[in-house]
């Protein structure tokens, strides 16, 4: 009789262990999903900011190109003597503006790199959860032996 009670107690504790494990895993998955959603929202806002930087850089590049065109047009009528290249000063200004726009474009592109968009905290948390689950699995197996 006593052995039978111990067996029932063991079965109920194993059953409760598995039900607790299922409940905890379910809660863990829900929390991980919420974390992933939050982190992806954060990464999306970073991507939008980088895209805005690229758009501004494109506008600056366009301005630089327009200055270069103006330099080509007005360069013929500058105050420089005709024997020199009269459009050179405007061309230099346009080149500087274009260079600034190119630097801004590169900065925006660097912010969009794949490493910056990875949900690193979620991935680290999932690795920790996997290790914890494996530890619990080993503990349950040990208890069953």
Each residue of 17-50: pLDDT tens digit? 778 877 888 888 888 888 888 888 888 888 888 8
Pick 82 or 110 by higher pLDDT.
110
The greatest distance separating any two alpha carbons of the chain, rounded to the nearest whole angstrom, comes to 117
Whole-number mean pLDDT of the chain? 77
Predicted confidence band of residue 115 (pLDDT cuts 50, 70, 90):
low
For residues 62 and 34, give the distance between their C-alpha atoms in angstroms, rounded to a whole number.
42
Cα–Cα separations (whole angstroms), residue 139 to 18, 21, 136, 145: 12, 12, 5, 10
For residues 66 and 91, give the distance between their C-alpha atoms in angstroms, rounded to a whole number.
11
pTM, full prediction: 0.40
| The pLDDT value given to residue 130 | 80
């Amino acid at each position: 009789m006593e052995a039978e009670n111990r067996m029932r107690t063991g079965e109920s504790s194993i059953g409760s262990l598995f039900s607790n494990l299922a409940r905890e895993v379910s809660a863990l998955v829900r929390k991980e999903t919420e974390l992933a959603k939050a982190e992806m929202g954060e990464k999306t806002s970073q991507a939008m900011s980088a895209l805005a930087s690229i758009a501004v850089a494109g506008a600056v590049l366009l301005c630089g190109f327009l200055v270069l065109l103006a330099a080509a047009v007005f360069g013929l009528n500058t105050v420089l003597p005709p024997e020199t290249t009269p459009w050179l000063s405007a061309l230099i200004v346009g080149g500087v503006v274009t260079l600034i726009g190119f630097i801004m474009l590169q900065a925006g592109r660097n912010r969009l790199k794949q490493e910056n968009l990875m949900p690193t905290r979620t991935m680290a948390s999932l690795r920790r959860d996997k290790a914890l689950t494996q530890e619990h699995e080993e503990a349950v197996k040990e208890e069953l032996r």
